[in-house]
């Protein structure tokens, strides 16, 4: 499939129902975001949770209650139709998959958009640092750790991390490059021994695909956007909506220098 | 002993013969430098060696032949008297230790001042990252590796690295902080498995003191200013002068933002 260069062209296709797949690799150079939609009764606590846990939950934008727009992220954005796949959770139960939110929308819903790792992975690619899972056509492996998030009201629980494996010299460059992107989870939280952060088996991640590692590789662990999803399920709101994994909101905000204008 | 705050007060005491000890911890916030003095016949090749190997040999300044001043580093500087200890090498042999260079000075000598790791270690201290060898009152351990420098004329040979051990989360911060100081050897060249860069026994460094490590620590390796000293001995010039290890040239250049004005 061809790469779609422009974020508004991509949102137009999503809105028309013509794009229902992962957004990775599309609209390069623009921030993509994780989605969390919650009833207003949970919004203040979730905002505090993001503020207390900026590495797993870097906040890109928050809407007014009931307003499906987020003009700071894209002028034309309608959050009910512009994400290529949604998951709807009721009372913390199993998710229902839907293609748009128009039938579900309520006047008390607040939208949160959180940074994801795609723009950081783009900067690794520009630096010619091999990213094993992308080269292998796999999803990144993700693990539940024994690192606790900072609790805010009903939101808490373990930090989830994603793992990328590198030769040590590339790992050093990946640390430097990722630290420059605090809205894409920033610098890693750990590297080396998985057991030191409570990961029992590197070969068996809780989310994503098994890892790809070359001889001499060191595993490097970043805070992951699945962390707020786990926290939201644990809080058991009557209604919560997230994106389908990999099916991100694509914004008009350039990834480069994204933290400067906040 | 009391800490001397001002670089020109420190140089004044050195010049008067009243300060003949390591400079670490003195004149905090100012760049300190490794010294290399060579006959003009070797100067062009050594300059090329530094340019090709900026991590072990970050060039802070170079003098005119025969001129003992380096006004870009300090207005009053006289390189013959302002370093607290010198080593004199003839034809690559064993060093002679001298307190000043006035009797040795020649009209063909060129002075090179190279960055050292002290300003980077200061930034670790400000970031409250424990540096084990400093806390233990030891010298940093240094190792000859199987990483080859880029040769220039008679100058070449292995890269020497210094090792500092950290908990992984501190190692990540140390990578970020050191990368911001390219004149203090910049980001590490390796971490983890010592054998991957040809170090046979971490407990037995070629230079400095045996390492201090806590449980769970990861060894992190930086390019080291001993690299050019090894290259100089290998080149066997009729005369070469370096500083006594730890007895650095203290400059008036602020360490913070030092790379900006070059």
Nearest to B258 by CA among B142, B113, B81, B52: B113
CB B97 within 8 A of CB B243: no
Strands (DSSP E) along A58-216, which ranges? 59-62, 86-89, 96-98, 109-115, 142-148, 158-166, 190-191
Residue A27 φ then ψ, to 5°: 45, 55
Residues of B in contact with A189 (CB under 8 A): 169, 172
Instruction: Determine if residue B109 is left, alpha or beta; phi over 0 gives left, psi from -120 to 50 gives alpha, anything else beta.
Output: beta
Provide the sign of the torsion angle of the four alpha carbons B233, B239, B245, B251, taken in this order. Answer: negative
Find how far residue B176's CA is from the centre of its chain.
20
Question: pLDDT above 90 covers what percent of chain A?
Answer: 86
Q: How far is A170 from chain B (nearest CA, A)?
A: 9
CB A159 within 8 A of CB A189: yes
The chain-wide mean pLDDT, for chain A, equals 93
For residue B40, pLDDT beyond 70 = yes
pLDDT for A226: 93
Greater model confidence, B5 or A256: B5
Tokens of A189: 């939280």
The chain-wide mean pLDDT, for chain B, equals 93
Mean pLDDT of A55-59: 95
Which domains can be identified in chain B, with CATH numbers?
A: 7-18+32-116+236-252 (3.40.1640.10), 118-224 (3.30.2040.10)
Q: How far is A181 from chain B (nearest CA, A)?
A: 12
Helix, coil or strand: residue B171? helix
Residues A196, B216: C-beta atoms closer than 8 Å: yes
Mean pLDDT of A69-82: 96
Using alpha carbons only, what angle is made at residue B231 by residues B229 and B235, rounded to the nearest 5 degrees?
115
Provide the sign of the torsion angle of the four alpha carbons A247, A259, A28, A109, taken in this order. Answer: positive
pLDDT for B243: 94
Query: Cα separation of B253 and A125, whole Å?
Result: 37
Instruction: Dump pLDDT digits (tens) for B103-150.
Output: 999 999 999 999 999 888 988 998 999 999 989 988 899 999 999 999
Residue B225 φ then ψ, to 5°: -70, -5
Asked whether this complex has an ipTM greater than 0.85, the answer is no
pLDDT for A198: 98
Q: How far is B261 from chain A (nearest CA, A)?
A: 23
Tokens of B6: 């001002």
Query: Minimum mean pLDDT among A82-91, A248-257, B14-23: which range?
Result: A248-257
- The pTM for the full model equals 0.84
Mean pLDDT of B7-14: 96
For residue B257, pLDDT beyond 90 = no
pLDDT for B259: 58
Residues 6+ apart with CB under 8 A from A108: A39, A40, A41, A65, A66
Q: Hey, how many other C-beta atoms are within 10 angstroms of the C-beta on B6?
A: 13
Q: Report the DSSP beta bridge partners of residue B144.
A: B160
From chain A residues 5-34, the ones with a CB under 8 A of any chain B CB are: none
Instruction: Dump pLDDT digits (tens) for A99-117.
Output: 999 999 999 999 999 999 9
Residue B173: closest C-alpha in chain A:
A187
Residue B246's pLDDT band (boundaries 50, 70, 90)? confident
For residue B238, pLDDT beyond 60 = yes
Find how far residue B243's CA is from the centre of its chain.
9
From chain A residues 160-179, the ones with a CB under 8 A of any chain B CB are: 168-169, 171-173, 175-176, 179
């Amino acid at each position: 499939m061809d790469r779609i260069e422009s974020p508004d062209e991509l949102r137009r296709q999503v809105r028309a129902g013509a794009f229902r797949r992962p957004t990775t690799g599309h609209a390069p150079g623009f921030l993509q975001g994780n989605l969390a939609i919650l009833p207003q009764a949970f919004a203040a606590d979730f905002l505090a949770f993001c503020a207390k846990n900026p590495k797993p939950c870097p906040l890109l934008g928050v809407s007014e209650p009931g307003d499906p727009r987020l003009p700071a992220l894209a002028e034309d954005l309608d959050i009910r139709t512009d994400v290529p796949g949604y998951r709807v959770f009721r009372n913390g139960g199993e998710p229902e998959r839907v293609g748009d939110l128009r039938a579900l929308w309520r006047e008390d819903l607040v939208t949160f958009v959180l940074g994801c790792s795609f723009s950081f992975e783009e900067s690794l690619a520009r630096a010619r640092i091999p990213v094993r899972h992308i080269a292998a056509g796999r999803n990144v492996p993700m693990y539940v750790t024994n690192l606790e998030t900072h609790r805010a009201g009903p939101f808490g629980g373990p930090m989830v991390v994603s793992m990328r494996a590198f030769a040590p010299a590339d790992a050093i460059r990946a640390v430097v490059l990722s630290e420059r992107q605090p809205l894409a989870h920033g610098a890693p939280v750990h590297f080396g021994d998985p057991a030191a952060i409570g990961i029992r088996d590197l070969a068996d991640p809780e989310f994503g695909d098994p890892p790809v590692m070359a001889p001499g590789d060191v595993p490097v662990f970043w805070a992951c956007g699945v962390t707020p999803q786990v926290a939201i399920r644990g809080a058991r709101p009557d209604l919560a909506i997230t994106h389908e994994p990999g099916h991100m909101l694509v914004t008009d905000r350039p990834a480069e220098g994204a933290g400067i204008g906040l």
